[in-house]
Chains A and B, each alone.
Chain A
Amino acid sequence: MTVAVDFRNVDIVFGADQAGSLAMIDKGATRAEILEKTGNVLGCAGASLTVNEGEISVLMGLSGSGKSTLLRAVNRLNVVSRGQVLVKDGDKTVDVVTCDQATLRRLRQKQVAMVFQQFGLLPWRTVEENVGLGLELAGVPDAERKERVQRQLKLVNLDQWSNKYAHELSGGMQQRVGLARAFATEAPILLMDEPFSALDPLIRTKLQDELLQLQAQLKKTIIFVSHDLEEALKIGTHITIMEGGRIVQTGAPEDIVLRPANDYVRDFIANVNPLSVLTAWNVMRDSRDLEHGDNGWVWLDRRKTTRFKIDEHGLVAAAERDGKPAVWVSCADVEGQSEEAAQVFWANPGTSLKTVMLAMHRSQTAPVALFDDQSRFVGAIGIRDVLSAVLRR
């Protein structure tokens, strides 16, 4: 995997006494202490984070946690006091902190585009002229610019609106213009600073879905700032939680939900519905932890109601439920199955916990088996595993 953006020990301090504040950061001082001593505001401290190509990396935190500050270091809207921000620029990487103005402008025009919370559209320009802003600044010829702008407008379904002024559009549409403007430069890295926070919940959900669809086609590297954990869990491939200018935890969405690093993160996830993040993989018991019997038979649950016979290739050769032979059926078909006692459902690691629970519900709380993509048996989920994951016990 190629690294797109690499933050290395980034400190950002707003104010005159940079050296004094950095010395205090080294001693581990909090934001309040630094403010009191130096009058400077700590933006973020010691932030290290690697964002790979094609990821949606979400920076999460309450307001003032430093998430936007860190994001804005990528295109130097915020000046980094100490540390490196390495951004992929074609075949090489550029340290945004130290590069010259010409390089910075080229990065901003071609490599890194941005979407703003308050949209940042120019009200005296039409939708079309707004979308073309980045291309215009980069000196792209008129004809090519028009063509690229029209393509982007089609992508976000705004081609009917290209001659309207930005302020004539609803908030959701304005942010689509903001998205199209960022896509138009064809920059591989996209910075999104709470792009959907100013929108009402229905429109927000809709734009999140649209972003995910577009991302499936465009495969950008996205750094996304949000204060809404549901949003982060929905769109993020990685989530970084920040508090008081420092990173407290980085990981995949389910890592954050299952293994919160401290009370701050725990508070954050307290109200999150675990069903929206957890997958079968997160809750299963590994095959090696299951109780093995003779002749390749292995019990799927602690109550010993269901067992599989596994052959030498790891495939299931036979199944038994309550002492009688049973068939094994994919969870993907759970909706279409009648409620028979003699079937055992199996899932893939990526199957959502919700589907697994539905399968259990349909099979009188029988355990669900887990197969990998070559149909080899890797583990099982019993009712207790589900309950403890949902209750986080």
Chain B
Amino acid sequence: MDPISQFMVDHKIPIGAWGKAFFGFLTDNFDTIFRAFSNGLNFLLDGLVNVLLVVPPVLLALIIAAIAWLLQRSRPLAIGVFFGLIFIINQNLWKQTVQTLVLVVAAAAMAMAIGVPLGIWAAHKPKVYRVMLPVLDLMQTLPTFVYLIPVLTLFGLGNAPGLIVTIIFVIPTAVRLTHLGVVSVPKSIVEAGEAFGATKSQLLWKVELPSALPTIMAGLTQSIMLSLSMVVFAALIGAGGLGTEINRALGSRRIDLGLEAGLAIVVLAIVLDRMTRIAVGGKK
């Protein structure tokens, strides 16, 4: 090695050690808090899954199809949703699918609950957005495995860490699309609101959010799709569901099992996408 490189290597910035020390500090001092949080979340998620599994699968499939009809008012869609779910029952993957469904819906809902207010805030305060942007980039591009490790040490195994990892990965999309929606509200209608004496909150609820709604809904659809794509990773740290099946198929080289679980994920993705797509109706 040349002397300059050698010199630089000798004076390596100990980023890894710092990070380890930081998480060591967290586990040493706040371990009980993280564990309690994790246990509570696990209890909630498992409870929800168990409640849903009490319902006969075909009845639950019917209920989901009914929700699809309520959201989109489309009979072909409701029928499609129903038969898609019947296919999953037929493949004997119903329990895993319900686990995955709960995880995905919870992750997308949490990501929206956190991401939409952040996106609105960023849209109103360009400086905030400038600070937020690199953090969002980091959350989306840091390889998932890298933050699986600290999440695992803090929260242990189970559904809760799977949910947290998924939320971290999905939030940036919710923030970005909300931000895009709110900053693209035409200036003329914002001014119309102001000129007729809207307060800041009236402006938000009566002008900005309705105008940004299609983009925010696109954010919801994207959040659900991205949550589904995290299912396999979440399974690595103990989240149950279809991801576990795929990991098992990978470990034991079971093409048949992998194909079945993979198809179930695809069906679930299509069902959720069609159900949430442009839920504001056809008008512009």
Contacts and interface: CB of A to CB of B under 8 A. Distances in A.
A238 to B, nearest CB: 23
B195 A114 contact: yes
Interface stretch (A102-110, A258-266, A282-290): A102-110
B206 A137 contact: yes
Contacts of B284: 123, 167
A116 interface: yes
Nearest to B199: A105
Interface string B187-219: 011011111111100100011001101000000
B214 to A, nearest CB: 9
Given A116-B188, A116-B191, A121-B192, A108 B283 contact: no
Most chain B CB inside 10 Å of its own CB: which residue of A77, A109, A133, A136: A133
Interface of B is mostly: helix
Contacts of A123: 211, 284
A137 B191 contact: no
Contacts of A133: 192-193, 196, 206
B63 to A, nearest CB: 30
A118 interface: yes
Contact of B197 (A109, A118, A120): A109
Contact-residue size bin, chain A (C-beta under 8 Å from the other chain):
20 to 34
Interface residues of B, number: 20
A165 interface: yes
Given A105-B199, A137-B197, A185-B196, A120 B283 contact: no
Given A105-B199, A137-B202, A124 B194 contact: no
Given A122-B207, A123-B284, A136-B206, A108 B197 contact: yes
Interface in A106-144: 106-110, 112-114, 116, 118-124, 133-134, 136-138
Contacts of B206: 133, 136-137
A191 B199 CA distance: 20
A351 to B, nearest CB: 40
20 contacts: A104-B197, A105-B197, A105-B199, A106-B197, A108-B197, A116-B188, A116-B191, A116-B192, A118-B186, A119-B188, A120-B191, A122-B189, A122-B192, A133-B193, A133-B196, A133-B206, A134-B196, A134-B197, A136-B206, A138-B197
Interface of B: 186, 188-189, 191-199, 202, 206-207, 210-211, 213, 283-284
